[in-house]
Amino acid sequence: MTGRGLDLHGTMQSFPVGKDLATGTSYLHGASTAAGKSVPIATFSAQRMEEFVYMLGAIFGFTGYEVSTKNSTNFFYDPAAISAHYNSDKVNRYYQVIHKRNSLDNNGMKLINTVHIGVKWNNAGWNGKQMMYGDGDGIRFNSLAGGLDVAGHEMTHGFDDQGRQYDA
């Protein structure tokens, strides 16, 4: 299923989503598909939870709060979440097509993004399981989820973290 929404650059994007048919709610969960392989992808919001609190929760498996919509056209309203979801899908498809990888671990690892970490957090990161994006302080940085290069950088940490060699 496909969702749509405006990213942080004001560009209308289409991206994979999942829908609960019983409730009519769509979520930023879907499949990044290329080269005959499908990789699960999910995007969450930390709702500007302090970085330390979020990181502590992540140790115990907390990925964030669902990003959802009940809009019948699957239109999403969180530009940072849309950007992170779209960019990680795009980077994953690059890894699938160019490097013949089945996700970061070459075994279909789920791609998880979390946006809105911290209050004015000027950073993005990889914690060993997921990509994390701060909203920036509005002076030095805006939301880091908007950068395709940032998504590529963080996902490459994941690629390296999984002990893989650059073989393509």
> Tell me: the pLDDT tens digits for 111-134?
999 999 999 999 999 998 999 999
Distance CA 158, CA 168 (A): 17
pLDDT tens across 71-101, in order? 999 999 999 999 999 999 999 999 999 989 8
Q: Which of 158, 160, 149 is nearest to 127 (CA)?
A: 158
Instruction: Give the predicted TM-score (pTM) of the model.
Output: 0.93
| pLDDT above 70 as % of the chain | 96
Confidence of residue 168 (pLDDT cuts 50, 70, 90): very low
Q: Which of 33, 110, 48, 118 is nearest to 78 (CA)?
A: 48
The Cα angle at residue 144 between residues 32 and 112, in degrees rounded to 5? 35
The mean pLDDT value for 12-20 works out to 95
161 within 8 A of 22, measured Cβ to Cβ: no
